[in-house]
């Protein structure tokens, strides 16, 4: 049941700066109410029932089972069921790396998502109050068993431009991507032959786990951050690209495929790779509101980032071939395009082989990578570099 607005002594709702307001984790019945309320904004092409079922399914994944919190801005003195949800959001606990002055640490961080105020309460400052409260809550939230008991950073992905979240400390960071159109089988054969590209192999979930998430690979990413922090005065942070992130994204696409595309086989191909060149990528399919929004996102790339110049050609060719197979996979799933975030110089070279006219897009309105840095108060400097800022981090 959707709660109606509480009647305040002055006949309205508490103001956004009222001391009577508090931000608390929602109990299960309010979580459900939040999902119902915000479904209008976030359900895409799903109906409300299916959207809620997907939310429940996604909350049971490895990434979220213990780490997902639904927050509600409510009146302090009213119990659940009798209070009005003025604004709500979710936070996802994630593993992070922090490197500073040549030392690297495993830390905990949070991603913020599903920020919502219902239409009738908008423009009154409730979401702003919630973000202000959240910023304080996240300082120590779920940190009890950590070496650092205060949060170093948290992230979110703004779909409402750059100014709103900046006010509350989440500053916009570089948010670039490249997008390539889907291609047919015929186009794929011609393109691969035309530029003489190697043929990548497809990766199933287990291949992604072994090729892209093994301890060595994760350790290498950690070491790269440490090395970067030796050369830079800025702290270097990243969300760990672990298997749990990929499982969560796949749970999303598999749920859609099962419920909406029930006449198809499940989407088993989860990426592509070239073992010889040691380049691998993992992807997931995002089914949007219309066909043109359907996008195959490359969640993460793994390749040798300390490659010697004589080997870069093989790496670039492998990347180009992998991108072509992603374009073909996109076509097979009725996706309009392939998109990947934060292209590196080698990826730009690969794009140069495939489509020199492809543009790097600087996102100004949606999915703006935003990070709140608390490191200055912890002696970690004023500036921070967000490394591995790829799509897998999105929530």
Ligand X SMILES: CC(C)(COP(=O)(O)OP(=O)(O)OC[C@H]1O[C@@H](n2cnc3c(N)ncnc32)[C@H](O)[C@@H]1OP(=O)(O)O)[C@@H](O)C(=O)NCCC(=O)NCCS
The answer to whether residue 381 forms part of the interface with ligand X (CB under 6 A) is no
Order the strands of the 279-286 sheet from edge to edge. 201-203, 271-274, 279-286, 295-302, 337-341, 176-181, 360-362
The answer to whether residue 84 forms part of the interface with ligand X (CB under 6 A) is no
Q: Determine which residue in the list 106, 159, 230, 289 makes contact with ligand X, applying CB under 6 A.
A: 159
The answer to whether residue 37 forms part of the interface with ligand X (CB under 6 A) is no
**Residue among 174, 176, 195, 224 nearest 319 (CA):** 195
Contact status, residue 67 vs residue 244, Cβ threshold 8 Å: no
The answer to whether residue 127 forms part of the interface with ligand X (CB under 6 A) is yes
CB of 87 to ligand X, least distance (A): 5
Q: Closer to ligand X at the Cβ: 8 or 184? A: 8
Q: Closer to ligand X at the Cβ: 190 or 366? A: 366
Q: Determine which residue in the list 44, 80, 125, 198 makes contact with ligand X, applying CB under 6 A.
A: 125
The answer to whether residue 161 forms part of the interface with ligand X (CB under 6 A) is yes
271: number of Cβ within 10 Å: 29
Count, residues near ligand X per rule CB under 6 A: 17
Q: Closer to ligand X at the Cβ: 75 or 191? A: 75
The answer to whether residue 115 forms part of the interface with ligand X (CB under 6 A) is yes
The answer to whether residue 370 forms part of the interface with ligand X (CB under 6 A) is no
The answer to whether residue 160 forms part of the interface with ligand X (CB under 6 A) is yes
Q: Determine which residue in the list 61, 69, 87, 229 makes contact with ligand X, applying CB under 6 A.
A: 87
The answer to whether residue 309 forms part of the interface with ligand X (CB under 6 A) is no
CB of 124 to ligand X, least distance (A): 5
3-state secondary structure of 186: helix
Listed in sequence order, the residues at least 6 apart from 173 whose beta carbon sits closer than 8 Å to its beta carbon are 369, 370, 371, 386, 389
Q: Determine which residue in the list 44, 80, 128, 198 makes contact with ligand X, applying CB under 6 A.
A: 128
Binding range to ligand X, per CB under 6 A, among 154-162, 178-186, 319-327, 346-354? 154-162
Q: Closer to ligand X at the Cβ: 87 or 294? A: 87
Q: Closer to ligand X at the Cβ: 68 or 330? A: 68
The answer to whether residue 189 forms part of the interface with ligand X (CB under 6 A) is no
The answer to whether residue 158 forms part of the interface with ligand X (CB under 6 A) is yes
What residues line the site for ligand X (CB under 6 A)? 41, 87, 115-117, 122-128, 158-161, 164
């Amino acid at each position: 049941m959707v709660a109606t607005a509480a009647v305040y002594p002055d006949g309205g709702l508490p103001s956004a700066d009222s001391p009577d307001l508090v931000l608390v984790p929602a109990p299960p019945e309010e979580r459900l109410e939040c999902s119902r309320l915000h479904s209008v904004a976030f359900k895409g092409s799903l109906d409300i029932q299916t959207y809620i079922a997907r939310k429940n399914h996604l909350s049971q994944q490895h990434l979220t089972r213990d780490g997902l919190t639904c927050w509600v801005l409510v009146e302090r003195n009213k119990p659940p069921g009798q209070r009005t949800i003025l604004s709500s959001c979710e936070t996802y606990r994630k593993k992070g790396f922090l490197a500073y002055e040549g030392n690297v640490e495993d830390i905990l961080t949070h991603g913020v998502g599903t920020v919502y105020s219902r239409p009738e309460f908008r423009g009154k400052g409730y979401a702003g109050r919630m973000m202000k409260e959240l910023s304080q809550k996240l300082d120590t939230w779920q940190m009890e068993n950590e070496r650092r008991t205060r949060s170093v950073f948290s992230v979110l992905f703004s779909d409402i431009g750059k100014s709103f979240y900046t006010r509350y400390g989440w500053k916009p960071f570089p948010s670039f991507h490249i997008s390539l159109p889907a291609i047919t089988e015929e186009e794929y054969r011609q393109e691969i032959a035309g530029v003489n590209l190697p043929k990548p192999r497809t990766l199933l979930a287990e291949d992604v786990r072994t090729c892209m998430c093994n301890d060595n690979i994760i350790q290498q990413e950690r070491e790269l951050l440490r090395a970067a922090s030796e050369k830079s005065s800025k702290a270097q942070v990243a969300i760990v690209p672990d298997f749990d992130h990929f499982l969560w994204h796949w749970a999303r696409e598999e749920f859609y495929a099962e419920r909406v595309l029930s006449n198809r086989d499940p989407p088993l191909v989860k990426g592509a790779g070239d073992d010889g060149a040691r380049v691998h990528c993992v992807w997931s399919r995002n089914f949007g509101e219309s066909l043109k929004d359907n996008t195959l996102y490359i969640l993460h790339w793994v390749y040798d980032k300390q490659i010697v110049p004589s080997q870069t050609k093989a790496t670039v060719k492998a990347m180009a071939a992998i991108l072509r197979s992603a374009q073909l996979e996109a076509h097979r799933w009725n996706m309009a395009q392939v998109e990947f975030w934060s292209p590196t110089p080698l990826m730009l070279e690969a794009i140069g082989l495939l489509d020199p006219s492809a543009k790097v897009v600087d996102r100004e309105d949606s999915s703006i990578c935003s990070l709140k840095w608390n490191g200055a108060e912890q002696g970690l400097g004023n500036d921070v570099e967000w490394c591995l800022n790829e799509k897998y981090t999105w929530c």
